[in-house]
Amino acid sequence: MTDRECVELLQWAAPRLRLRWEGFRRVRGQVCKRIGRRLKALGLPDAAAYRARLAAEPAEWDVLDALCRVTISRFYRDARVFEVLRHELLPARLEALRAQGASTLRAWSAGCASGEEPYTLAVLFQLGLRPRFPGADLSLVATDADAALLARAHRGCYPRGSLRELPPAWAAQAFPGPGEEPCLAPEYRRGIDFLQQDLRSQMPEGPFHLVLCRNVAFTYFAPPLQREVLSRMVTRLVPGGLLVIGGHESLPEGDFGLTRAAGPLPVFLRTEA
Ligand SMILES: C[S@@+](CC[C@H](N)C(=O)[O-])C[C@H]1O[C@@H](n2cnc3c(N)ncnc32)[C@H](O)[C@@H]1O
């Protein structure tokens, strides 16, 4: 299948999956490769034949949907966001919790890939915040639609390249092993609940003080679905809770009871009760 054929297939199929083609434009290589392999496995000559297969066998749509998941991630991705969480926003939240006699910060990583994002938060919490808030705990739910990625998250071992943005001292402490694929030390894995959930139909109950939904819904979902998901997500935030989206993403138009929490950075605060 040529790149052009793949692009046309994605442009045609994305709205039918409630996705938006534009989200795939820059990263389509991974998806096109997978679709090409699927065509081969089915013995189909080209994209037109695959469209015919989709029309004849509706179950194939679920296969295509799974092939469309972009899995790129890394630790401490968008470092400036993690820096503002570490130095300003989470300390303020932990102070507020302490004033209420509470100690547990509840967070959700939506579209957690192979665990890079939730484990980043776990490392940040233990090495960046615990020294100042020794009594504080992190309760973390991490969801993804993809079972294979969740299995990798459980394994917790990563190519060194995916650690390159993590502060080096933290990387050395959290990934003490040698080799090209070091594993996360056990103390950073505790208290994380990994769940297989499709964000389009399922969400953990919450409520959360912090939701990370980066490079998933607001890149790949069609605008009406973005609005639906965002509305439901906001109800999972406590008032004053934070929503973090991806560095290249923006929220859909509309009043969702959110305001910016860190200047131009993609961090939003729930304003309404
Ligand atoms: C590009 S990665 C982003 C990972 C991480 N949030 C980050 O920003 O580094 C997108 C992740 O979202 C997951 N995903 C895609 N569609 C999903 C859906 N409908 N429900 C839940 N997870 C989904 C993919 O499996 C993939 O792990």
Give the DSSP letter string of 173-184: HH----SSS-B-
Residues 126-146: what's their mean pLDDT?
96
Q: What is the separation, in whole angstroms, between the first and last Cα of the chain? A: 51
**Number of structural domains in the chain:** 2
Listed in sequence order, the residues at least 6 apart from 151 whose beta carbon sits closer than 8 Å to its beta carbon are none
Atom of ligand 1 nearest to the CA of 149: 27
Q: Which pLDDT score, from 0 to 100, does residue 178 have?
A: 86
pLDDT grade, residue 273 (50/70/90)? Answer: low
Determine the structural domain holding residue 145 and report its residue range: 79-270
Residues 10-24: what's their mean pLDDT?
96
pLDDT in tens, 70-113: 999 999 999 999 999 999 999 999 999 999 999 999 999 999 99
Q: Which pLDDT score, from 0 to 100, does residue 223 have?
A: 96
Task: Look up residue 176 and give its two tokens.
Answer: 């003490």
Please indicate whether residue 62, judged by its CB atom, sits closer than 6 Å to ligand 1: no
Question: What is the residue with the minimal CA distance to atom 7 of ligand 1?
Answer: 73
Residues 137 and 253 grouped into a single domain: yes
Q: Which pLDDT score, from 0 to 100, does residue 247 have?
A: 96
Residues 140 and 163 grouped into a single domain: yes
Residues 221 and 90 grouped into a single domain: yes
Atom of ligand 1 nearest to the CA of 200: 19
pLDDT surpasses 80 at 151: yes
pLDDT in tens, 214-270: 999 999 999 999 999 999 999 999 999 999 999 999 999 999 999 999 999 999 999
Atom of ligand 1 nearest to the CA of 70: 1
Report yes or no on 134 lying in a domain.
yes
Does the bond joining 176 to the residue before it have cis omega, within 30 degrees of 0? no
Q: Which pLDDT score, from 0 to 100, does residue 203 have?
A: 98
Report yes or no on 72 lying in a domain.
no
Residue 144 has φ and ψ, to the nearest 5°, of -155, 155
Report yes or no on 73 lying in a domain.
no
Residues 164 and 203 grouped into a single domain: yes
pLDDT in tens, 163-220: 999 999 999 999 998 889 999 999 999 889 999 999 999 999 999 999 999 999 999 9
Question: What is the residue with the minimal CA distance to atom 6 of ligand 1?
Answer: 214
Q: Which pLDDT score, from 0 to 100, does residue 177 have?
A: 84
Contact between 142 and 115 under an 8 Å Cβ cutoff? The reply is yes
Residues 54 and 86 grouped into a single domain: no
Residues 133 and 181 grouped into a single domain: yes
Q: Which pLDDT score, from 0 to 100, does residue 75 have?
A: 98
Report yes or no on 156 lying in a domain.
yes
Report yes or no on 136 lying in a domain.
yes
Residues 187 and 254 grouped into a single domain: yes
Residues 104 and 221 grouped into a single domain: yes
